[in-house]
């Protein structure tokens, strides 16, 4: 008999709920068994209540049972890092990595435009890797990758932030439709971002933005033949455990 697992999801906004125009403050995703529910719920509520983007006055916590027989176990992406002196150098390195993964210049420039100008993108934008067209119709809501966690409780030798990002990037890269991902945080105090793909691994690049800047988010580059509904269903609904591994 399979053990019971639960998806625990948090989102927080300032002013009002996200769908009513509130400013996105924080989000979080965990998978756990019943014995961990209380501790993880407390952890996510603390994350929502202490964030540099602002003071949340709307916090939503959702707990949902996950069919254990649907769980998939995958290895984490390999991790590497690039340190540069300026944001422009960081952007240049990220663009080189994306081009190496097979993303066109047009698509790269559109992705950078999205992340440089968006200050309330709650989920990811999905962009055609050749044409640069945005394929999801979610606008600021974007596509929220959900139902993933570390099978060993996240025992990776790095920060909670990196563990969470690496788990998400690993799930995204595992889809055959994904070509690459570009991400930097909308947290004004965090300037490191990454490029990832099955081919490249998880490449941390710092800096990718200036300190104090609240723009940021994620862009997923996909193949021309993407089945967009199937792709978004995998990202949002498929439960995935990452099978341990060490980050650098």
Confidence band, pLDDT 50/70/90 cuts, at residue 65? very high
Whether 26 has a pLDDT exceeding 50, the answer reads yes
Q: Report d(CA 101, CA 88) in Å as an integer.
A: 20
Contacts 24+ apart (CB under 8 A), 62-67: 62/7, 62/8, 62/9, 62/10, 63/6, 63/7, 63/8, 63/37, 64/6, 64/7, 64/9, 65/4, 65/5, 65/6, 65/7, 66/5, 66/6, 66/7, 66/31, 66/147, 66/239, 67/239
CA distances from 25 to 135, 164, 207, 208 (A): 25, 16, 21, 20
Higher-confidence residue of 101 and 142: namely: 101
Higher-confidence residue of 23 and 246: namely: 23
Please tell me the pTM assigned to this model. 0.89
| pLDDT for the residue numbered 246 | 46
Whether 20 has a pLDDT exceeding 90, the answer reads no
| pLDDT for the residue numbered 51 | 77
Whether 28 has a pLDDT exceeding 50, the answer reads yes
Q: Are 145 and 171 in contact (CB under 8 A)?
A: yes
Q: What is the mean pLDDT of the chain?
A: 91
Residue range 72-101: average pLDDT?
Answer: 97
């Amino acid at each position: 008999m399979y053990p019971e697992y639960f998806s625990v999801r948090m989102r927080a906004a300032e002013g009002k709920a996200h769908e009513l125009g509130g400013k996105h403050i924080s989000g979080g995703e965990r998978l756990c068994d019943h014995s961990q529910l209380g501790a993880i719920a407390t952890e996510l509520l603390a994350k929502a209540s202490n964030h540099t983007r602002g003071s949340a006055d709307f916090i939503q916590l959702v707990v949902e049972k996950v069919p254990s027989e649907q769980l998939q176990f995958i290895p984490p992406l390999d991790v590497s890092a690039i340190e540069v002196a300026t944001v422009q150098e960081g952007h240049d390195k990220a663009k080189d990595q994306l081009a190496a993964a097979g993303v066109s210049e047009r698509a790269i420039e559109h992705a950078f435009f999205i992340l440089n100008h968006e200050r309330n993108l709650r989920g990811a934008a999905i962009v055609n890797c050749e044409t640069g067209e945005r394929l999801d119709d979610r606008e600021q809501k974007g596509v929220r990758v959900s139902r993933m966690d570390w099978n060993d409780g996240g025992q990776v030798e790095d920060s909670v932030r990196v563990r969470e990002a690496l788990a998400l990037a690993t799930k995204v890269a595992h889809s055959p439709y994904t070509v690459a991902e570009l991400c930097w945080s909308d947290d004004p105090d965090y300037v490191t971002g990454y490029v990832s793909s099955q081919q490249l691994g998880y490449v941390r690049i710092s800096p990718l933005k200036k300190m104090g800047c609240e723009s940021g988010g994620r862009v997923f580059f996909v193949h021309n033949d993407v089945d967009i509904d199937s792709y978004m269903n995998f990202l949002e609904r498929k439960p995935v455990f990452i099978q341990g591994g060490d980050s650098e």
